[in-house]
Amino acid sequence: MKKETTVPVVKGRTYTIDILRLGTNGEGVGRVENFTVFVPGALPGETVEGRAEIVKKQYAAAQLVRIVQPSPDRTKPACPVYGECGGCRLQHLSYEGQLREKRRQVKDALERIGHLPEVPVLPTIGADDPMSYRNKMQLPVAAGKKKHEPHIGCFAEKSHRVIDIERCPIQKDGNNLIIPVVRDWMREYKIPAYDEDRGTGIMRHIMGRVGVHSGEVMVCLVTAVDMVPHMKDLVRLLREKVPGLASVVQNVNKRHTNVILGEKTKVIFGSPTIHDAIGPLQFHISAQSFFQINSEQAQKLYETALSFADLKGEETVIDVYCGTGTITLFLAQQAKEAYGIEIVAPAIKDAIQNAKDNGIRNTQFILGDAAYKLPELLRSGVKPDVIVVDPPRAGCEEKVLYAVARVKPKRVVYVSCNPATLARDLAYMDKQGYKTIKVQPVDMFSQTHHVESVAVLVRGQKIRKCDEA
């Protein structure tokens, strides 16, 4: 009979823990008698005291009680509500340390999940300004303890409690200017916040969008009702206090849901869209549009993907999971022709419009599942030299990867927002005859644990059939 392993950690007791690395959510990972303990707020190289709060058979989670030996990379967070807010997780780590840890996160995933220890992982491409980078703000509105004292801010971690803020250090200034204007307007005109438990009130969320290159600002008010009193007064105040204000829109969301935006949006002032650019490409951005949160780093990400595609001007390129076509349009500038495939109809509509707005004519956007559309393109005579995939966090479906391998492009460029699924998918492609040459991490979301990566794969071996085929 197999002897059960004794768990050396007891709930409620405090332990001295040496922190070895960061976990996938930015928490410190240490050991107590070779037993894994997660300690949020602790950093690699630190010795800390932690009180065990959760104890399982395989791991424990502890609350940080005291830092015995701090890391030289520990720094003072810039945000006064850091630790309460559920957004940033790494403001207590120097930016140089963040870049190192994000590279390590990618490298560890390739080794532990993908079993690809030989793949080079380049140093993380950092931001020129790791603060004040978010061009989009979405803040919930809630009633305060005092009547007509709204809370506008961020959700506390793992809750719907709103932490009232004056500004957010990682937001663009144009977004931060919106917060006090709306708060003062709600106070003065007694505009009630929405109560999600009772389904009463008016103001649900405030969204701000900044055109980094145009200087234009959009304010989107998400309300639970169609008619909002004193809206003209709010527009007047916003025009006085927010330089570059180009658009004020109201989105009506009457549903009892966690989804922020409803289906109906109307223009209150100015234009329904603002403008921004990524590299040479220009974009119209509405309240509902998908657009990269970090305009400056997005350009570095797309330029990396374009460099890895190694286009000479005569290639055919297919962009799988093309979304609104941003990467497709970057590729089209240096390719003979570029195709984008996307299963979401509104995204394809935006992609077609983006191509028209930028005068790019050598693109074609296809609505449908790439697992079926790729073979259809091949049968129609389209033979891609390069395929780019940019999937959601869940990674590529195996049927899509198998379809990519069957099409036999010379090169595959994989843009990823999740090191774990990237590693899994690169391992699958390795078995299909595609060797990963290198991976480039890019820091798109400074002060958080998230990291984007671009990998380049080349075809070398005979393709093996997947189990489902």
Most distant pair of Cα atoms in the chain: their distance = 77
Nearest to 48 by CA among 38, 56, 58: 38
Residues 276 and 300 in one domain: no
Last residue of one domain, picked from the residues 285, 315, 331: 285
Q: How far apart are the first and last CA of the chain?
A: 42
Residue 417 annotated to the active site = yes
In whole angstroms, what is the distance from residue 174 CA to residue 213 CA?
Answer: 12
Question: Residue 164 sits in a domain of what CATH number?
Answer: 2.40.50.1070
Residue 195, in any domain of the structure:
yes
Contact (CB, 8 A) for 92 and 82: yes
Asked if residue 317 and residue 444 are part of one domain, the reply reads yes
Classify residue 353 by burial, with Cβ atoms within 10 Å: 0-12, 13-18, 19+: middle
Residue 390 lies in a domain: yes
Pairing of strands 217-223, 245-252: parallel
The 3-class SS string of 401-443 reads HHHHHHHCCCEEEEEECCHHHHHHHHHHHHHCCEEEEEEEEEC
The CATH number covering residue 424 comes to 3.40.50.150
Q: How many domains does the chain have?
A: 3
In tens digits, the chain (469 residues) has pLDDT values of: 445 568 899 999 999 999 999 998 899 999 999 999 999 999 999 999 999 999 999 999 999 999 999 999 999 999 999 988 878 899 999 999 999 999 999 999 999 999 999 999 999 999 999 999 999 999 999 988 777 789 999 988 778 889 999 999 999 999 999 999 999 999 999 999 998 888 889 999 999 999 999 999 999 999 999 999 999 999 999 999 999 999 999 999 999 888 899 989 999 999 999 999 999 999 999 998 889 999 999 999 999 999 999 999 999 999 999 999 999 999 999 999 999 999 989 889 999 999 999 999 999 999 999 999 999 999 999 999 999 999 999 999 999 999 999 999 999 999 999 999 999 999 999 999 999 999 999 999 999 999 999 999 999 844 444 444 3
**Residues 371, 279 share a domain:** no
154 and 47 within one domain:
no
Domain assignment present for residue 303? The answer is yes
Instruction: Look at residues 262, 285, 308 and tell me which one is the last residue of a structural domain.
Output: 285
Q: Give the per-residue pLDDT at 196.
A: 83
DSSP state of 249: E
- Sequence-distant (6+) residues with CB within 8 A of 328 are 317, 319, 322, 338, 339, 340, 351, 355, 363, 365
Of the listed 88, 168, 417, 466, which one is catalytic?
417
What is the structure's pLDDT at 161?
Answer: 86
Cβ–Cβ contacts within 10 Å for residue 296, how many? 16
**The two structure tokens encoding residue 396:** 């590529």
In single-letter form, the type of residue at position 382 comes to V
State how far the Cα of 211 lies from the Cα of 455, in Å rounded to an integer: 29
> Smallest Cα–Cα separation from 278: which of 260, 255, 296?
296
Residues 121 and 140 in one domain: no
Q: Is 223 in the same domain as 349?
A: no
| Beta carbons of 162 and 125 less than 8 angstroms apart | no
Instruction: Note whether 219 and 324 are same-domain residues.
Output: no
The pLDDT of residue 469? 35
Which residues constitute the domain of residue 229? 136-285
Q: Give a yes or no: residue 153 inside a domain.
A: yes
Check which CATH number belongs to the domain holding 40 and give it.
Answer: 2.40.50.140
- The 3-state DSSP class for residue 42 equals coil
Q: Based on the domain organization, do 301 and 281 belong to the same domain? A: no
Q: Are residues 263 and 309 in the same domain?
A: no
Inside any domain, residue 80: no
Angle at 177 between CA 153 and CA 202, to 5 degrees: 50
Cα–Cα nearest to 224, from 239, 244, 204: 204
Q: How many CB atoms lie within 10 A of CB 467?
A: 7
Together in a domain, 350 and 405: yes
| Tokens coding 295 | 């305009």
Query: String of b and e for 163-185 (b: at least 16 CB within 10 Å)?
Result: bebebbbbbbebbbbbbebbbeb
Global model pTM greater than 0.85: yes
Tell me, yes or no, whether 147 lies in a domain.
yes
Torsion, CA 185, CA 187, CA 190, CA 195, rounded to 10? 100
Q: In the prediction, which pLDDT does 467 show?
A: 45
Tokens of 380: 């129609």
Contact 468, 428 (CB under 8 A): no
From residue 135, give the alpha-carbon distance in Å to each of 109, 180, 292, 454: 30, 18, 8, 22
Instruction: Tell me whether residue 271 is in a domain.
Output: yes
How far apart are the C-alpha atoms of 322 and 307, rounded to whole Å? 18
95 domain residue, yes or no: no
Q: Indicate if 366 and 455 belong to the same structural domain.
A: yes
pLDDT at 83: 81
Q: Of the candidates 285, 317, 349, which is a domain's last residue?
A: 285
Residues 158 and 176 in one domain: yes
- What pLDDT score does 5 carry? 63
- CA Rg value for the chain: 24
The pLDDT of residue 319:
96
